[in-house]
């Protein structure tokens, strides 16, 4: 039998791993306690679509057993993911968790390694579709399990570093884009070049009769608290509007 290699392309870096010595030991379900099979999918925002991940996961997991989140990958504080660790959906020894790619699991390298170590310690197998060596089953008791673990640990270290760097780059580009946006003179907010609208929350609008209550407050006919109550404003909003009213009407303070 000739040598067998698993080849990876990681952002232009080719990685070849010789698995010919282990080939005979790779058997589906080799020696492991049989448990449930679960899939996990994630996108960063509600506008993004989970379909591609779910289609890929359905090759290995029934759709009703796929857990999904629409949340950032910066940490693991996600309701879907946490359901895999507590309650009725908790993964236990002998279970298998399928993920499409490592960046769908997490974009934080250290946190990802901790979570993978947690699953390893409780006997849950994590299989990542985009890392073929994690998909291989090796028969326990052959003395070669450590080789597969070593390969997977190296790949996860490389890929999680890349994923974390990608997130840092995205955040840096977002910050640069925001700084480059023009500023609206009235609201002080940045204006999106794409939409022509201010980004962030819409500015607070003056409630009806604001000028009247402003004058009463300034002339000490009523207190600021009374003015806020009549206008239905919280203190922070009231004072912001007061400063804007003064600026727009050239009132010296």
Catalytic residues: 44
> Phi, psi at residue 70, to the nearest 5°?
-115, 85
- Do β-strands 13-18 and 37-43 pair in parallel, antiparallel, or remain unpaired? unpaired
Cβ proximity of 188 and 201 under 8 Å: no
Give which of 74, 88, 91 is closest to 126, Cα–Cα.
91
> Angle at CA 167, nearest 5°, toward 43 and 54?
20
Residue 191: alpha-carbon gap to chain centroid = 26
Strand partners, 70: 43
Neighbours of 91 (CB within 10 A): 22
For 86, what's the count of Cα atoms within 13 Å in the CB-facing half-sphere?
6
């Amino acid at each position: 039998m000739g040598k067998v290699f698993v080849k990876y392309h990681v952002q232009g870096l080719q990685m070849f791993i010789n698995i010919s010595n282990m080939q005979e030991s790779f058997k589906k379900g080799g020696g492991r306690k049989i448990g449930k099979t679960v899939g996990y999918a994630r996108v960063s925002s509600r506008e993004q679509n989970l379909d591609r991940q779910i289609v890929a996961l359905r090759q290995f997991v029934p759709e009703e057993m796929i857990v999904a989140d629409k949340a950032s990958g910066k940490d693991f504080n996600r309701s879907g993911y946490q359901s895999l660790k507590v309650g009725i959906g908790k993964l236990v020894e002998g279970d298998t968790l399928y993920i499409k790619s490592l960046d769908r699991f997490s974009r934080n390298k250290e946190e990802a390694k901790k979570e993978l170590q947690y699953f390893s310690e409780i006997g849950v197998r994590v299989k990542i579709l985009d890392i073929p060596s994690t998909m291989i089953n090796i028969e326990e008791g052959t003395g070669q399990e450590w080789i597969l673990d070593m390969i997977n640990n190296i790949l996860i270290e490389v890929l999680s570093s890349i994923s974390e760097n990608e997130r840092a780059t995205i955040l840096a580009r977002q910050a640069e884009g925001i700084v480059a946006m023009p500023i609206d003179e009235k609201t002080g907010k940045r204006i999106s070049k794409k939409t022509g609208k201010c980004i962030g929350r819409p500015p607070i609008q003056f409630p009806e009769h604001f000028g009247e209550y402003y004058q009463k407050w300034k002339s000490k006919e009523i207190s600021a608290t009374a003015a806020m109550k009549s206008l239905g404003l919280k203190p922070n909003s009231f004072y912001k509007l007061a400063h804007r009213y003064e600026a727009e009407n050239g009132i010296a303070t």
